Chains A and B, each alone.
Chain A
Amino acid sequence: MASNAIEIREVSRRFGPVCAVDGVSLDIFEGETLGLIGHNGAGKSTLFKMMLGLIPPSSGQILIQGTQVHGAAFRALRRAIGYLPENLAFYENLTGLETLRFFARLKGCGQEQCMALLKKLGLEHAANRRVDGYSKGMRQRLGFAQALLGSPRILFLDEPTNGLDPEGIREFYDILGELKQTGVTVIITSHILFEIQERVQRLAVMKSGKLHALGTVQQLREEVNLPLTVHLRLSGSPQRVRDALAGIPLESLEAQDGHVMIRCMHQHRMELLRRLYALEGLDDITVREPSLEDIFLGYAA
């Protein structure tokens, strides 16, 4: 059993009459990558800020490596935490290198890291240019470089691929993959769900301030039990398909120009496929599991 990097115990946060986070309990394991998803206003950002000690919980407590997230003891721990905020803003007057040096000084880590990190993020050519001339993607890279200062053990990444082009997104996940090898704990939020579903060990779904669901993508899939989709291409009348599947409860069956789309629940899938394979004139068959988007929408609905 892995030990806990972060323990969230019955944490709530109210802003006046609004309860932004409502009784959330969650353990995040050492070295795991956890995806935090939910609609805007679901309480993700508030939970993020509480984990970083930026706002105190109204009730409950948060421990990072066994330490409360405020006070003098947490200050030392902050050096081991990297944070990439969703709305990045830098000092426009400073160059990229100066920006990193400023944060490196605050974090108490070596200045020599700065240039190395700029290189790693592909910004070495812009190191001595002022940030006000940076594109959105360059700012995001600079933000990621900043989060990696001091080789953090825990990384908080809020919408980290915002504004990155496809190449940038791939590079970002390559670096994240390297970090995971070294046992870094990563908490990541993203609106682009298909992007993170392959890259997180577990997902935490938030809805109306509550932790709505928690588990691996597979577990959530089974829990929600959404229909899967089977797509066929075959010659001859689609009525043959209907006949062949008689007795299996289907969610839907649509046919058009030799293409048939069938949706059915998970528990009937093997029986369905057996009968379909026995059909004559079957040219092609594909099975699509519900995507993270589907799961997410299933939960949020």
Chain B
Amino acid sequence: MLEAKQIRTVTAKEFRDRIRNRWVIAVAIIFTLFALAIVYFGAAQQGEVGFRNIELTIASLVSLVIYLIPLIALILGYDAIVGERERGSLDLLLSMPITRLELLLGKFLGLSLALTCSTLLGFGLVGLLLAGQTDAEALYHYAGFMFSAILLGLVFLSLAVMVSVLARDRARASGAAIGVWFLFVLVYDLILLGVLVLSGGEFGEDLFPLLLLFNPADIFRLLNIFSLEDLKTFYGLATVFPASLSNPWLLGSMMVAWIIAPLAVAQWRFK
């Protein structure tokens, strides 16, 4: 039996903490600066400076966000529980009339709120600047990009909270958080690609697209590619990836599953 008031109390405290130590505004500024740099200088290598088209801009932003947001979410959440345990404040908290699940959800929601605010502020500001230069459909895509970026952040925040429950101390938690980042952002795709090449492409056919769904970073990439008609061919993924799996609702549901699963593990192991 969950008491919403207890969750809300913890959520409000966590969120206020991040506002007060200027975390929200600092991360929003980082997002804004990176996004502006990509929007206006992204084509500098080709000898151009200035805004090109929305498809290329989003593609560039995606490859930035796929590294940056998981990292920031993991840094934000890795000590949520283990930090309290190490400082000694966890016992006092748990002696209150609050269950472990309420505490976990309260922490997760508070940090989620902080990260979501930063993402909306940072990329929203750039979206407003773009609004004058593009049409409604492009803005719709940009909004989709922002929404999927928020989902990506929540997935890695959920993973961070799980790490925070499983780790014995903060040092181990930070190590594990970096490991999670490496695994999903760098190593996973490399291994898939390696297997695909080694097996001469035979192994891939049916399994490869499914395996992509087991990496939230890949789902995020797919969500933003398949919503842009021009880039399907640009990436050459349309041939590998069956249309049945490219449904944004399916991909969105997978992201939500990726948010729930680590939290469920965290709750299960939280003693």
Contact = CB atoms under 8 A, between A and B. Distances in A.
Interface of A: 49, 52-55, 72, 75-76, 78-79, 81, 83, 85, 87-91, 93-94, 102-103, 105-108, 146, 156
Contacts of A103: 96
Given A78-B97, A107-B97, A83 B92 contact: yes
B95 A91 contact: no
A68 B1 CA distance: 18
A61 to B, nearest CB: 18
A106 B88 contact: no
Interface residues of B, number: 22
Contacts of A146: 92
Interface in B75-112: 87-89, 91-99
A251 B98 CA distance: 57
A54 B91 contact: yes
Contact of B97 (A54, A75, A85): A75
A105 B88 contact: no
Contacts of A53: 95
B17 interface: yes
Given A55-B271, A75-B97, A85-B92, 5 more contacts: A52-B95, A72-B1, A102-B9, A106-B6, A146-B92
A78 B95 contact: yes
Nearest to B89: A89
A91 B89 contact: yes
B94 A54 contact: yes
B136 to A, nearest CB: 42
A132 to B, nearest CB: 11
B89 A90 contact: yes
Nearest to B98: A106
Nearest to A146: B92
Contacts, number: 58
B96 A107 contact: yes
A105 B93 CA distance: 12
A76 B99 CA distance: 11
Given A72-B1, A102-B9, A106-B6, A83 B95 contact: yes
Which of B1, B6, B20, B91 counts the most chain A CB atoms within 10 A?
B91
Nearest to A77: B97
B13 interface: yes
A51 to B, nearest CB: 10
Contact of A93 (B17, B94, B96, B97): B17
B87 A89 contact: yes
A89 B9 contact: no
B21 interface: yes
A87 B90 CA distance: 11
Nearest to A104: B9
Contacts of B271: 55
A91 B6 contact: no
B89 A106 contact: no
B179 to A, nearest CB: 26
A146 B99 CA distance: 19
B17 to A, nearest CB: 5
A86 to B, nearest CB: 8
